[in-house]
Amino acid sequence: MNRELSPARRIGGTIVVPGDKSIAHRAALLSILASSPIEVINFPDNADCLSSLKAAESLGVKVAKESNKLVFTPPDSLSPDPETTVDCGNSGTTARLLSGIVAGTEIELTITGDESLQSRPMKRIIDPLTEMGAEFFCEDGRLPMRIRGHKLLPFEYRLPVASAQVKSAVLLAGLASNCTVAVQEEIVTRNHTELMMQHLGKGVEIRKITPVPVQDPLDPRKKKMQMPEPFKRETHLTSQTRITGGTIDIPGDMSTAAFFFAAAAISGETITVENIGLNPTRTAFLDYLKLIGCKVVIENKVTISGEPRGTVTVTGGKLSHRKISGSMTVALIDEIPIIAVVAAFASGTTVIRDAAELRVKESDRLAAVAENLSRMGVKHGILEDGIAVEGGHEFTGADFVSYGDHRIAMAFSIASLFLVGHSTIDDAECVNISCPTFYDILDQIKQ
Protein backbone atom coordinates (compact mmCIF):
# COMPACT_ATOMS: atom_id res chain seq x y z
CA MET A 1 0.00 0.00 0.00
CA ASN A 2 1.35 3.43 -0.96
CA ARG A 3 1.84 6.02 1.77
CA GLU A 4 1.63 9.76 1.13
CA LEU A 5 4.64 11.73 2.38
CA SER A 6 4.80 15.49 2.78
CA PRO A 7 7.65 17.94 3.42
CA ALA A 8 8.21 19.15 6.98
CA ARG A 9 8.02 22.81 7.95
CA ARG A 10 10.28 22.21 10.92
CA ILE A 11 12.02 19.26 12.59
CA GLY A 12 12.63 18.72 16.29
CA GLY A 13 11.59 17.16 19.58
CA THR A 14 12.40 14.50 22.16
CA ILE A 15 11.48 10.91 21.33
CA VAL A 16 11.90 7.30 22.47
CA VAL A 17 12.49 4.50 19.95
CA PRO A 18 11.63 0.79 20.38
CA GLY A 19 14.04 -1.69 21.99
CA ASP A 20 17.19 -2.77 20.21
CA LYS A 21 16.52 -5.55 17.69
CA SER A 22 19.93 -7.17 18.00
CA ILE A 23 19.67 -7.50 21.77
CA ALA A 24 16.06 -8.74 21.66
CA HIS A 25 16.91 -11.53 19.19
CA ARG A 26 19.64 -12.80 21.46
CA ALA A 27 17.56 -12.63 24.63
CA ALA A 28 14.80 -14.71 23.06
CA LEU A 29 17.13 -17.31 21.52
CA LEU A 30 19.44 -17.65 24.54
CA SER A 31 16.39 -18.65 26.58
CA ILE A 32 16.44 -21.96 24.67
CA LEU A 33 19.74 -22.82 26.37
CA ALA A 34 19.17 -21.23 29.80
CA SER A 35 18.71 -23.21 33.00
CA SER A 36 16.18 -20.75 34.48
CA PRO A 37 13.85 -18.02 33.16
CA ILE A 38 15.03 -14.88 31.39
CA GLU A 39 12.95 -11.76 32.01
CA VAL A 40 13.09 -9.20 29.20
CA ILE A 41 12.03 -5.57 29.61
CA ASN A 42 11.26 -3.43 26.53
CA PHE A 43 11.13 -6.33 24.06
CA PRO A 44 10.27 -4.67 20.71
CA ASP A 45 7.05 -5.55 18.92
CA ASN A 46 8.49 -5.87 15.42
CA ALA A 47 8.17 -8.72 12.95
CA ASP A 48 11.84 -9.74 13.05
CA CYS A 49 12.01 -10.07 16.84
CA LEU A 50 8.68 -11.87 16.92
CA SER A 51 10.29 -14.43 14.58
CA SER A 52 12.93 -15.12 17.24
CA LEU A 53 10.25 -15.31 19.94
CA LYS A 54 8.29 -17.86 17.89
CA ALA A 55 11.47 -19.82 17.13
CA ALA A 56 12.15 -20.10 20.86
CA GLU A 57 8.58 -21.33 21.40
CA SER A 58 9.06 -23.92 18.64
CA LEU A 59 11.88 -25.43 20.71
CA GLY A 60 9.82 -25.57 23.89
CA VAL A 61 10.32 -22.16 25.51
CA LYS A 62 7.22 -20.82 27.27
CA VAL A 63 6.65 -17.08 26.87
CA ALA A 64 4.46 -15.13 29.30
CA LYS A 65 3.72 -11.40 29.47
CA GLU A 66 3.94 -9.84 32.92
CA SER A 67 3.20 -6.08 33.12
CA ASN A 68 6.12 -4.40 31.27
CA LYS A 69 8.16 -7.51 30.55
CA LEU A 70 8.21 -10.88 28.82
CA VAL A 71 9.30 -13.97 30.74
CA PHE A 72 11.02 -16.72 28.71
CA THR A 73 10.97 -20.03 30.59
CA PRO A 74 13.32 -22.62 29.04
CA PRO A 75 12.24 -26.20 28.35
CA ASP A 76 13.35 -29.05 30.63
CA SER A 77 14.92 -30.68 27.59
CA LEU A 78 15.24 -30.03 23.86
CA SER A 79 13.22 -32.64 22.01
CA PRO A 80 11.26 -31.10 19.12
CA ASP A 81 9.63 -33.39 16.58
CA PRO A 82 12.16 -34.00 13.74
CA GLU A 83 9.45 -32.87 11.32
CA THR A 84 9.43 -29.41 12.94
CA THR A 85 9.92 -26.50 10.54
CA VAL A 86 10.79 -23.12 12.03
CA ASP A 87 9.73 -20.19 9.85
CA CYS A 88 12.06 -17.23 10.49
CA GLY A 89 10.05 -14.85 8.32
CA ASN A 90 12.33 -12.06 7.09
CA SER A 91 14.85 -12.36 9.92
CA GLY A 92 18.35 -13.41 8.93
CA THR A 93 19.49 -12.98 12.53
CA THR A 94 16.92 -15.53 13.70
CA ALA A 95 17.89 -18.04 11.01
CA ARG A 96 21.65 -17.80 11.54
CA LEU A 97 21.67 -17.75 15.34
CA LEU A 98 19.08 -20.52 15.60
CA SER A 99 21.21 -22.60 13.21
CA GLY A 100 24.09 -22.35 15.68
CA ILE A 101 21.90 -23.51 18.57
CA VAL A 102 20.48 -26.48 16.63
CA ALA A 103 23.95 -27.44 15.33
CA GLY A 104 25.20 -27.90 18.89
CA THR A 105 22.29 -30.01 20.13
CA GLU A 106 21.37 -33.56 19.21
CA ILE A 107 18.13 -32.59 17.50
CA GLU A 108 17.03 -32.31 13.89
CA LEU A 109 14.72 -29.76 12.29
CA THR A 110 14.23 -27.52 9.25
CA ILE A 111 14.68 -23.76 9.11
CA THR A 112 12.99 -21.67 6.44
CA GLY A 113 11.87 -18.09 5.82
CA ASP A 114 10.06 -15.79 3.43
CA GLU A 115 11.10 -15.31 -0.20
CA SER A 116 13.62 -12.60 0.68
CA LEU A 117 15.28 -14.66 3.41
CA GLN A 118 15.44 -17.72 1.13
CA SER A 119 17.55 -15.67 -1.29
CA ARG A 120 20.15 -14.68 1.31
CA PRO A 121 23.43 -16.61 1.80
CA MET A 122 23.76 -19.12 4.64
CA LYS A 123 27.06 -20.71 3.56
CA ARG A 124 28.95 -18.35 5.84
CA ILE A 125 27.49 -20.17 8.87
CA ILE A 126 27.20 -23.60 7.26
CA ASP A 127 30.97 -23.85 6.69
CA PRO A 128 32.19 -23.32 10.28
CA LEU A 129 29.30 -25.24 11.85
CA THR A 130 29.93 -28.19 9.52
CA GLU A 131 33.61 -28.08 10.44
CA MET A 132 32.55 -28.34 14.09
CA GLY A 133 30.55 -31.51 13.30
CA ALA A 134 26.97 -30.52 12.46
CA GLU A 135 25.18 -31.66 9.28
CA PHE A 136 23.32 -29.36 6.87
CA PHE A 137 21.06 -30.29 3.98
CA CYS A 138 20.05 -27.52 1.56
CA GLU A 139 20.43 -26.32 -2.02
CA ASP A 140 23.10 -23.78 -2.92
CA GLY A 141 23.59 -22.71 0.70
CA ARG A 142 20.08 -21.23 0.95
CA LEU A 143 16.94 -21.80 2.96
CA PRO A 144 15.01 -24.00 3.47
CA MET A 145 17.77 -25.82 5.35
CA ARG A 146 17.61 -29.02 7.34
CA ILE A 147 20.03 -29.23 10.27
CA ARG A 148 21.12 -32.35 12.14
CA GLY A 149 22.88 -31.37 15.33
CA HIS A 150 25.64 -33.34 17.06
CA LYS A 151 28.02 -33.20 19.96
CA LEU A 152 30.52 -30.77 18.47
CA LEU A 153 34.30 -30.60 18.48
CA PRO A 154 36.30 -27.86 20.23
CA PHE A 155 36.84 -25.11 17.70
CA GLU A 156 39.07 -22.10 17.08
CA TYR A 157 37.82 -19.86 14.30
CA ARG A 158 39.12 -16.69 12.68
CA LEU A 159 36.21 -14.82 11.11
CA PRO A 160 36.85 -14.59 7.34
CA VAL A 161 34.27 -11.80 7.07
CA ALA A 162 33.26 -9.22 9.66
CA SER A 163 29.92 -10.66 10.76
CA ALA A 164 28.39 -10.61 14.24
CA GLN A 165 25.84 -13.18 13.06
CA VAL A 166 28.53 -15.70 12.04
CA LYS A 167 30.42 -15.10 15.29
CA SER A 168 27.22 -15.55 17.29
CA ALA A 169 26.26 -18.75 15.45
CA VAL A 170 29.63 -20.33 16.31
CA LEU A 171 29.48 -19.16 19.95
CA LEU A 172 25.93 -20.45 20.38
CA ALA A 173 26.89 -23.79 18.84
CA GLY A 174 29.71 -24.13 21.36
CA LEU A 175 27.42 -23.12 24.20
CA ALA A 176 24.74 -25.63 23.14
CA SER A 177 27.28 -28.45 22.85
CA ASN A 178 29.29 -27.60 25.99
CA CYS A 179 32.51 -27.49 23.99
CA THR A 180 35.40 -25.06 24.01
CA VAL A 181 35.18 -22.37 21.33
CA ALA A 182 37.38 -19.39 20.49
CA VAL A 183 36.33 -16.84 17.85
CA GLN A 184 38.88 -14.28 16.64
CA GLU A 185 38.07 -11.02 14.86
CA GLU A 186 40.36 -8.90 12.72
CA ILE A 187 37.60 -6.29 12.38
CA VAL A 188 35.61 -5.93 15.60
CA THR A 189 31.86 -6.55 15.19
CA ARG A 190 28.84 -6.10 17.44
CA ASN A 191 29.37 -7.84 20.76
CA HIS A 192 25.81 -8.18 22.10
CA THR A 193 25.96 -12.00 22.20
CA GLU A 194 29.06 -12.25 24.37
CA LEU A 195 27.99 -9.36 26.63
CA MET A 196 24.64 -11.07 27.22
CA MET A 197 26.33 -14.41 27.89
CA GLN A 198 28.49 -12.72 30.51
CA HIS A 199 25.50 -10.97 32.07
CA LEU A 200 23.26 -14.06 32.20
CA GLY A 201 25.83 -16.76 32.86
CA LYS A 202 29.45 -17.67 33.43
CA GLY A 203 32.49 -18.98 31.58
CA VAL A 204 32.78 -16.31 28.84
CA GLU A 205 36.11 -14.56 28.37
CA ILE A 206 36.66 -11.60 26.03
CA ARG A 207 40.27 -10.76 25.22
CA LYS A 208 41.03 -7.43 23.55
CA ILE A 209 44.34 -7.34 21.75
CA THR A 210 46.23 -4.04 22.02
CA PRO A 211 49.55 -2.94 20.50
CA VAL A 212 52.71 -3.50 22.56
CA PRO A 213 56.12 -1.83 22.26
CA VAL A 214 58.78 -3.91 20.45
CA GLN A 215 62.36 -3.18 19.41
CA ASP A 216 62.59 -1.40 16.07
CA PRO A 217 64.75 -3.70 13.88
CA LEU A 218 65.93 -0.68 11.88
CA ASP A 219 67.02 1.32 14.92
CA PRO A 220 67.85 -0.50 18.21
CA ARG A 221 67.53 2.80 20.09
CA LYS A 222 63.83 3.00 19.27
CA LYS A 223 60.71 0.98 19.88
CA LYS A 224 57.57 0.75 17.80
CA MET A 225 54.03 -0.37 18.59
CA GLN A 226 53.02 -3.73 17.16
CA MET A 227 50.01 -6.02 17.50
CA PRO A 228 51.05 -9.23 19.31
CA GLU A 229 48.32 -11.21 17.50
CA PRO A 230 46.95 -11.03 13.93
CA PHE A 231 43.48 -10.17 15.30
CA LYS A 232 41.94 -7.52 17.56
CA ARG A 233 39.54 -9.47 19.75
CA GLU A 234 39.00 -13.07 20.85
CA THR A 235 35.89 -14.45 22.54
CA HIS A 236 36.45 -17.70 24.39
CA LEU A 237 33.91 -20.16 25.79
CA THR A 238 34.93 -23.09 27.97
CA SER A 239 33.14 -26.43 28.28
CA GLN A 240 31.79 -25.08 31.59
CA THR A 241 30.08 -22.02 30.06
CA ARG A 242 26.45 -21.85 31.13
CA ILE A 243 23.46 -19.50 30.86
CA THR A 244 21.70 -19.44 34.20
CA GLY A 245 19.05 -16.76 33.51
CA GLY A 246 18.24 -13.31 34.84
CA THR A 247 16.90 -9.96 33.59
CA ILE A 248 17.64 -8.10 30.36
CA ASP A 249 16.51 -4.47 30.10
CA ILE A 250 16.75 -3.56 26.40
CA PRO A 251 17.77 0.02 25.48
CA GLY A 252 16.42 1.85 22.44
CA ASP A 253 17.70 0.76 19.04
CA MET A 254 20.49 2.99 17.67
CA SER A 255 19.87 1.74 14.12
CA THR A 256 16.28 3.01 14.34
CA ALA A 257 17.26 6.26 16.05
CA ALA A 258 19.75 6.91 13.22
CA PHE A 259 16.90 7.83 10.85
CA PHE A 260 15.66 10.56 13.19
CA PHE A 261 19.17 11.80 13.93
CA ALA A 262 19.61 12.07 10.15
CA ALA A 263 16.52 14.32 10.01
CA ALA A 264 18.15 16.59 12.57
CA ALA A 265 21.39 16.59 10.58
CA ILE A 266 19.73 17.57 7.30
CA SER A 267 17.40 20.17 8.81
CA GLY A 268 19.96 21.86 11.05
CA GLU A 269 17.54 21.42 13.95
CA THR A 270 17.74 19.37 17.16
CA ILE A 271 16.37 15.93 18.04
CA THR A 272 16.87 14.13 21.35
CA VAL A 273 16.44 10.37 21.84
CA GLU A 274 16.15 9.07 25.40
CA ASN A 275 17.23 5.66 26.72
CA ILE A 276 19.20 4.85 23.59
CA GLY A 277 21.78 2.04 23.43
CA LEU A 278 25.38 3.28 23.42
CA ASN A 279 27.31 0.06 22.88
CA PRO A 280 30.61 1.23 21.29
CA THR A 281 30.08 -1.19 18.39
CA ARG A 282 26.85 0.65 17.55
CA THR A 283 27.74 4.36 17.85
CA ALA A 284 29.69 4.82 14.60
CA PHE A 285 26.76 6.79 13.13
CA LEU A 286 27.10 9.40 15.88
CA ASP A 287 30.83 9.65 15.12
CA TYR A 288 30.01 10.04 11.43
CA LEU A 289 27.55 12.86 12.12
CA LYS A 290 30.22 14.70 14.10
CA LEU A 291 32.71 14.26 11.26
CA ILE A 292 30.36 15.85 8.71
CA GLY A 293 29.40 18.87 10.83
CA CYS A 294 26.77 17.97 13.44
CA LYS A 295 26.85 18.55 17.18
CA VAL A 296 26.32 15.40 19.26
CA VAL A 297 25.77 15.53 23.04
CA ILE A 298 25.54 12.39 25.21
CA GLU A 299 24.08 12.63 28.73
CA ASN A 300 22.80 10.38 31.54
CA LYS A 301 25.09 7.52 30.53
CA VAL A 302 24.64 4.32 32.57
CA THR A 303 25.18 0.57 32.05
CA ILE A 304 22.23 -1.78 32.61
CA SER A 305 22.17 -5.51 31.79
CA GLY A 306 25.73 -5.20 30.51
CA GLU A 307 24.79 -2.61 27.86
CA PRO A 308 25.54 1.15 28.08
CA ARG A 309 22.75 3.59 27.34
CA GLY A 310 21.91 7.26 27.70
CA THR A 311 20.29 10.34 26.18
CA VAL A 312 21.63 11.55 22.84
CA THR A 313 20.95 14.96 21.31
CA VAL A 314 21.91 15.71 17.71
CA THR A 315 21.87 19.19 16.22
CA GLY A 316 22.46 19.58 12.51
CA GLY A 317 24.95 21.94 10.90
CA LYS A 318 26.53 22.74 7.58
CA LEU A 319 27.08 19.23 6.25
CA SER A 320 30.24 18.20 4.42
CA HIS A 321 31.17 15.01 2.57
CA ARG A 322 33.27 12.24 4.08
CA LYS A 323 34.50 9.03 2.45
CA ILE A 324 33.39 5.76 4.07
CA SER A 325 35.41 2.58 3.57
CA GLY A 326 37.04 -0.39 5.34
CA SER A 327 36.23 -0.90 9.01
CA MET A 328 34.15 2.29 8.98
CA THR A 329 31.79 0.68 6.44
CA VAL A 330 31.52 -2.45 8.60
CA ALA A 331 30.53 -0.33 11.62
CA LEU A 332 27.96 1.61 9.57
CA ILE A 333 26.59 -1.19 7.38
CA ASP A 334 22.96 -0.91 8.58
CA GLU A 335 23.06 2.88 8.29
CA ILE A 336 24.40 3.13 4.73
CA PRO A 337 20.94 3.76 3.16
CA ILE A 338 20.24 6.75 5.43
CA ILE A 339 23.84 7.95 5.07
CA ALA A 340 23.29 8.05 1.29
CA VAL A 341 20.23 10.24 1.92
CA VAL A 342 22.20 12.56 4.22
CA ALA A 343 24.94 12.73 1.56
CA ALA A 344 22.41 14.09 -0.94
CA PHE A 345 22.01 17.16 1.29
CA ALA A 346 25.72 17.58 2.13
CA SER A 347 28.28 19.54 0.12
CA GLY A 348 30.53 17.72 -2.31
CA THR A 349 30.52 14.03 -3.26
CA THR A 350 30.31 11.28 -0.65
CA VAL A 351 31.99 8.02 -1.67
CA ILE A 352 31.01 4.77 0.06
CA ARG A 353 33.19 1.70 -0.57
CA ASP A 354 33.55 -1.88 0.76
CA ALA A 355 29.77 -2.20 1.02
CA ALA A 356 29.17 -5.21 -1.27
CA GLU A 357 27.45 -6.91 1.70
CA LEU A 358 24.48 -4.60 1.04
CA ARG A 359 23.69 -6.51 -2.13
CA VAL A 360 22.56 -9.56 -0.10
CA LYS A 361 20.43 -7.88 2.55
CA GLU A 362 16.61 -7.75 2.54
CA SER A 363 17.02 -6.22 -0.92
CA ASP A 364 20.00 -5.26 -3.05
CA ARG A 365 20.36 -2.10 -0.99
CA LEU A 366 22.93 -0.49 -3.26
CA ALA A 367 20.61 -0.83 -6.25
CA ALA A 368 17.57 0.26 -4.19
CA VAL A 369 19.35 3.36 -2.90
CA ALA A 370 20.53 4.25 -6.41
CA GLU A 371 17.04 3.89 -7.90
CA ASN A 372 15.44 6.11 -5.27
CA LEU A 373 18.17 8.74 -5.47
CA SER A 374 17.51 8.86 -9.22
CA ARG A 375 13.80 9.41 -8.59
CA MET A 376 14.46 12.50 -6.46
CA GLY A 377 17.02 13.85 -8.94
CA VAL A 378 20.30 13.14 -7.13
CA LYS A 379 23.41 12.58 -9.24
CA HIS A 380 25.18 9.41 -8.19
CA GLY A 381 27.34 6.59 -9.44
CA ILE A 382 27.05 2.90 -8.60
CA LEU A 383 30.39 1.27 -7.79
CA GLU A 384 31.19 -2.43 -7.66
CA ASP A 385 31.21 -2.33 -3.86
CA GLY A 386 29.47 0.93 -3.07
CA ILE A 387 28.06 4.21 -4.31
CA ALA A 388 29.09 7.83 -4.85
CA VAL A 389 26.50 10.53 -4.08
CA GLU A 390 26.76 14.15 -5.23
CA GLY A 391 25.02 16.45 -2.80
CA GLY A 392 24.23 20.08 -2.15
CA HIS A 393 21.28 20.67 -4.46
CA GLU A 394 17.52 21.07 -4.19
CA PHE A 395 15.49 17.98 -5.05
CA THR A 396 11.88 17.25 -5.90
CA GLY A 397 9.32 14.91 -4.39
CA ALA A 398 9.17 11.43 -5.86
CA ASP A 399 7.34 8.12 -5.90
CA PHE A 400 9.79 5.99 -3.95
CA VAL A 401 10.11 2.20 -4.16
CA SER A 402 10.84 0.31 -0.93
CA TYR A 403 11.54 -3.12 -2.49
CA GLY A 404 9.91 -4.50 0.66
CA ASP A 405 13.00 -3.41 2.62
CA HIS A 406 12.33 -1.60 5.90
CA ARG A 407 15.58 0.40 5.87
CA ILE A 408 14.98 1.63 2.32
CA ALA A 409 11.42 2.68 3.20
CA MET A 410 12.56 4.54 6.30
CA ALA A 411 15.54 6.22 4.62
CA PHE A 412 13.52 7.72 1.79
CA SER A 413 10.62 8.64 4.06
CA ILE A 414 13.18 10.80 5.89
CA ALA A 415 14.34 12.20 2.53
CA SER A 416 10.75 13.21 1.71
CA LEU A 417 10.76 15.69 4.61
CA PHE A 418 13.21 17.90 2.71
CA LEU A 419 11.98 17.66 -0.89
CA VAL A 420 10.03 20.19 -2.91
CA GLY A 421 6.53 18.78 -3.27
CA HIS A 422 4.85 15.63 -2.04
CA SER A 423 6.17 12.07 -2.29
CA THR A 424 4.91 8.51 -1.88
CA ILE A 425 6.48 5.24 -0.75
CA ASP A 426 5.12 1.86 -1.78
CA ASP A 427 4.70 -1.06 0.65
CA ALA A 428 5.21 1.25 3.62
CA GLU A 429 4.07 -1.55 5.94
CA CYS A 430 7.49 -3.17 5.52
CA VAL A 431 8.74 -0.86 8.31
CA ASN A 432 6.97 -3.33 10.65
CA ILE A 433 9.99 -5.60 10.19
CA SER A 434 11.99 -3.38 12.55
CA CYS A 435 9.85 -0.45 13.76
CA PRO A 436 6.04 -0.61 13.49
CA THR A 437 5.79 2.83 15.13
CA PHE A 438 8.16 4.52 12.65
CA TYR A 439 5.55 6.76 11.03
CA ASP A 440 4.06 7.71 14.40
CA ILE A 441 7.49 8.87 15.56
CA LEU A 442 8.00 10.64 12.22
CA ASP A 443 4.82 12.63 12.87
CA GLN A 444 6.16 13.56 16.34
CA ILE A 445 9.31 15.19 14.95
CA LYS A 446 7.44 17.11 12.21
CA GLN A 447 6.61 20.28 14.13
* Secondary structure of the chain as H, E, C letters: CCEEECCCCCECEEECCCECHHHHHHHHHHHHHCCCCEEEECCCCCHHHHHHHHHHHHCCCEEEEECCEEEEECCCCCCCCCCCEEECCCCHHHHHHHHHHHHCCCCEEEEECCHHHHCCCCHHHHHHHHHHCCEEEEECCEEEEEEECCCCCCEEEECCCCCHHHHHHHHHHHHHHCCCEEEEECCCCCCHHHHHHHHHEEEEEEEECCCEEEECCCCCCCEEEECCCCCCEEEEEEEEEEECCEEEECCECHHHHHHHHHHHHHHCCEEEEEEEECCHHHCHHHHHHHHCCCEEEEEEEEEECCEEEEEEEEECCCCCCCCECHHHHHHCHHHHHHHHHHHHCCCCEEEECCCHHHHHCCCCHHHHHHHHHHHCCCCEEEECCEEEEECCCCCECCEECCCCCHHHHHHHHHHHCCCECCEEECCHHHHHHCCCCHHHHHHHHEC
pLDDT of residue 228: 87
pLDDT of residue 149: 97
pLDDT of residue 213: 85
Cβ count near 307 (within 10 Å): 22
pLDDT of residue 257: 98
Q: What is the chain's Cα-based Rg? A: 22
**Digitized pLDDT (tens) for each residue of the chain, 447 residues in all:** 799 999 999 999 999 999 999 999 999 999 999 999 999 999 999 999 999 999 999 999 999 999 889 999 999 999 899 999 999 999 999 999 999 999 999 999 999 999 999 999 999 999 999 999 999 999 999 999 999 999 999 999 999 999 999 999 999 999 999 999 999 999 999 999 999 999 999 999 999 999 888 888 877 778 888 888 999 999 999 999 999 999 999 999 999 999 999 999 999 999 999 999 999 999 999 999 999 999 999 999 999 999 999 999 999 999 999 999 999 999 999 999 999 999 999 999 999 999 999 998 889 999 999 999 999 999 999 999 999 999 988 999 999 999 999 999 999 999 999 999 999 999 999 999 999 999 999 999 997
pLDDT of residue 221: 79
- The dihedrals phi and psi of 117, each to the nearest 5 degrees, come to -65, -35
Instruction: Tell me, yes or no, if the pTM score tops 0.85.
Output: yes
Catalytic residue check, 364: no
pLDDT of residue 212: 87
Q: Which residue is catalytic, options 20, 87, 334, 405? A: 334
Domains along the sequence of the chain with CATH: 3-19+251-445 (3.65.10.10), 21-249 (3.65.10.10)
pLDDT of residue 68: 86
